[in-house]
A and B are shown apart, each in its own frame.
Chain A
Amino acid sequence: MSEKDKSFEDLMEELETLVAKLEGQDLKLDDAIKQNERALKLIHLCRDRLDSARQKIDKLVRTAEGGFEKQALD
């Protein structure tokens, strides 16, 4: 799955796991460097998402057939 397809929740979960791991002491240096880089990248990704977020609002409207369809609302 590419980073773009990952939900914010997925990214946050990965970040939180990494942070917990990095705060522990028993990582090998190589791993620590790698995971540290990854954590910083995740923060960057999450920040970007928040920066570019604009709330989208849909309204469900009843159709003539009795079903529902989404209408964008701004």
Chain B
Amino acid sequence: MAQAPELNSTFSVSQITGHIQHTLEKGFSSVWVKGEISNLTRHSSGHWYFSLKDSGAQLGSVMFRHQNESVRFEPAHGMEVTAHGKISVYPPQGRYQLIVDQMLPAGQGDLHLAFENLKKKLMAEGLFDPSLKKKLPAYPSHIGIITSPTGAAIRDMINILSRRWPLARLILLPVKVQGEGAAVEIARAIEILNSLNECQVLLVGRGGGSLEDLWAFNEEVVARAITQSQIPIVSAVGHETDITIADFVADQRAPTPSAAAELVVPDQLELIRWFSQVEQSLQSNMRRKMERHEQRLHAIAASYALKRPELMIAQYVQKLDQMEDKALRATQDKISKAAARLDNLFVSVEAINPLHVLEKGYAVISGAKGVVIRSIDEVSDGVELHMRLKDGEIISIARDVKKRKLK
């Protein structure tokens, strides 16, 4: 469908309408249009049908129910508005119209546009880059406050800062926060506190108000001053729901001035509690450490190495005892062995006692001189023989001596 029309070709109505549809819908897919509402019809379906017109033209417009539910004012015939949406072509009727998705009263619409444009521009320059954000000091000693000298915002901030962190010195730089020249004054204040070079963090903001009231914080001069500040800046403009350009470029955005005061300093009470905890944990930690070392000392004192002299003596004593035992045993052995031998000897000696033989009826024969006769050869007839018996002696004379073998 999106072919370029050839110069001399003839289109069907559908074809040319298709081309027109494509061109318009692509070329005007997101546009802001300012004009006066006329012929407004609120259909029972919930959709709004109307025209936007000015002195020279009118544009058929529709805002569907799911979009017009978020419109925060009552549009009426003759009202100047700024509408955002896309152009859509309706081929059956050969008509084009604006499909509106956002609508604002004209004055606000201008501001909104300016806001969107500046936001786009600064974003394109990279000013919202998270890597540009400076870190806030943990325990600031000097805090600069740029806001209106009157009103709740300054009071709230001072109250909260005094309660949470009386250690910090506050440096107030009162400025005009709305109306003609406010933006320039705010930007200048940021420069002044930077050149004073005393503050570690700046709070820049004001209390709630209308979009117009907060406008100074949507101006480029303020955004640039915030970006160029060497001191970290916390933006604190209006209420939770108010978002300004200053919020995007600040190092940190706080939803309200009170919240800014809370987040820029620690709470002394929390810190004091922390001190007590740390003190306790340090002490118990130290106690544990000491106990561990004591145990180690005990273990070392009881160790083999340190006990050695004592142990060595004990060992010697034991050895001596053992040796003593051994020696004693050895002596006793010897004595009892000797005794045994003596006993044996006694038995043997007893065994050969000739008197024992005599008991059995044998006799010992000896010559006259008392020499024991062992062989018949020592005897001849007529020799005197002494025969000793168990209980007496016979002296006799040998006769008939014959040698023969006793079997």
Q: Which residues of A contact B (CB under 8 A)?
A: 7-9, 12, 15, 19, 22-23, 29, 32-33, 36, 39-40, 43, 46-47, 49-50, 53-60, 68, 70, 73
Contact = CB atoms under 8 A, between A and B. Distances in A.
Contact of B282 (A36, A58, A70, A73): A36
B388 interface: no
Contacts of A57: 158, 169-172
B288 to A, nearest CB: 10
Nearest to A49: B167
Given A8-B139, A8-B141, A40-B279, A55 B285 contact: no
B137 A9 contact: yes
Given A8-B141, A60-B171, 8 more contacts: A29-B289, A43-B278, A56-B169, A57-B169, A59-B149, A60-B192, A70-B171, A73-B172
Interface string B134-166: 000111010000000100000000100110001
B170 A56 contact: yes
A54 B139 CA distance: 15
Contacts of B293: 29
B286 interface: yes
A6 to B, nearest CB: 11
B57 interface: no
Interface of B: 137-139, 141, 149, 158, 161-162, 166-174, 192-193, 196, 268, 271-272, 275, 278-279, 281-282, 285-286, 289-290, 293
26 contacts: A8-B139, A12-B138, A15-B278, A19-B282, A22-B282, A22-B285, A23-B281, A32-B289, A39-B282, A43-B278, A46-B275, A47-B275, A49-B167, A50-B167, A55-B166, A55-B169, A56-B170, A57-B170, A57-B171, A58-B169, A58-B172, A59-B171, A59-B173, A59-B174, A60-B171, A60-B193
Contact of A60 (B141, B172, B271): B172
Contacts of A53: 166-167, 268
Contact of A9 (B141, B172, B174): B141
Contact of B192 (A32, A58, A68): A68
Contacts of B289: 29, 32
Contact of B170 (A15, A33, A36, A58): A58
